Amino acid sequence: MLSSLPTDAAIAFQGHRGAYSHLACQKVFPDHAVQPCTSFLDAMRAVENGYAARAMIPLENSTAGRVEEIYRLIPEMKLHLVGEHFEPVNHCLMALPGVSLDELSTVASHPQALAQCARHIEAAGFTAEATLDTAGAALAVSEGGDRSRGAIASKLAAELYGLTILNDHFQDVTGNTTRFIILSGTEVIPEFDPSRAYITSIVFRVRNIPAALYKGLGGFATNGVNMVKLESYIIGSSLSASQFHVDIEGHVAQRSLQLALEELAFFAEDVRILGTCEAHPFRASHQFRD
C-alpha cells in the first residue's frame, strides 16, 4: 500500500487540517502530503479524478456507529478498498492561550464529538455548539479571539492552531475508536500469505426471490468463511430496494471465499468486490467485531 505510492502522492481526507482523518493520514502515510477536502464526496472524487493517490475515509465509530453517508457513496464511485486503519479518538478540550477553564461558557465541535463528551459538557455547564468538523471548530476559536469559547478536537488541531489544551481526555467513554478505510483509484490486492489475516469487502443487492439473503449468505457458513460485518441500506428513491455491504475474513485468492462468492451470485445482483486488504492489528488485539 505504501510502497506503491510515489513520494509526491497526496492523501485526501474530509475536514480541516487537524481533523481525526488528518491524524489517521499521518499515522498511515507519515511521509506524504495531505489534501483537505470540504466533503467526503470531494475527497473520494479527488482520488477518482487522479488529484490524490488515496482517500482516508471514516466508516464507523465504536461509540457513534456507522457513517451512513459513506455506505451510500462507495457503490457510486469507481474506487477500490486497499487498506483499513483503526484510530483511537481522544477528544481534547481547548481554548485560546491563557484562558482558564472557568472562563469558558461555550464549546464547539462536530455533533458526534459533542455527543461523546455530553456528560462532561453538562457537568461543566457549557453550552454546546455544533460545527461541520472538530478541527474547523478549533480553527474558529483560534481566529475568533473570544475567551469564552472553547473547542473539542484532537491534540493535532490544538498544535496547528495554537490553542491550549485544558483537558486532554474530555470524552465520556474511554476506548472510543474510529475505523477508517483507505480508497484507491486502482486495484491493489496484496499477495496471499497464509500467515497473515485479511479482510475482503463486497457490496451486492439480493434478487427478488424468497429467502434470497438467507440463501446467499448461507454459502459463507457452508464454506467456513467468517463474516464480520453486514450492513444494509436503502438505495435510490425506492423503499423496496436494499443494498448490502459485507466484510469477510479472508483473501480473494482463497478457494473457500471464492466458493462462497459463487454461491452468493446465484441469489444476488451487482456483486462487487470492493477490495482485499491486510486486517489491521487492532482486530486481533481487541477481537474487533461489529
Residue boundaries of the structural domains of the chain: 10-88+176-184, 92-167, 198-286
Identify the three-state secondary structure at position 22.
helix
Please state, in angstroms and as integers, the Cα–Cα distance from residue 284 to each residue in 20, 79, 121, 278, following that order: 23, 27, 34, 12
pLDDT at position 163, please? 98
CA distance 227 to 225: 6
92-167: CATH class: alpha beta
d(CA 18, CA 139): 9
CATH 3.40.190.10: does it fit domain 10-88+176-184?
yes
pTM over 0.75: yes
- Each residue's pLDDT expressed in tens, for the chain with a length of 290 residues: 444 677 778 999 999 999 999 999 999 999 999 999 999 999 999 999 999 999 999 999 887 788 888 988 988 889 999 999 999 999 999 999 999 999 999 999 999 899 999 999 999 999 999 998 999 999 999 999 999 999 999 999 999 999 999 999 999 988 889 999 999 999 999 999 999 999 999 999 888 888 888 999 999 999 999 999 999 887 765 555 688 999 999 999 999 999 999 999 999 988 999 999 999 999 987 654 44
Report d(CA 282, CA 285) in Å as an integer.
5
Q: Which residue among the candidates 180, 204, 220, 244 is catalytic per the annotation?
A: 180
Q: Find, among 205, 186, 177, 163, the residue nearest to 20 by Cα.
A: 177
| 47 membership: H or E segment, kind and range | helix 40-48
Positive or negative, the Cα torsion across 170, 133, 145, 154? positive
Active site residue 131: no
What is the structure's pLDDT at 8?
77
Domains 10-88+176-184 and 198-286 share a fold: no
Instruction: Confirm whether 164 is a catalytic residue.
Output: no
For residue 37, list its beta bridge partners.
14
The catalytic position among 131, 134, 178, 276 is 178
Strand residues in 89-169 grouped as ranges (E): 92-95, 106-109, 127-130, 149-153, 164-167
What are the grid coordinates assigned to 197, written together? 489475516
Domain 198-286 grouped into CATH 3.30.70.260: yes
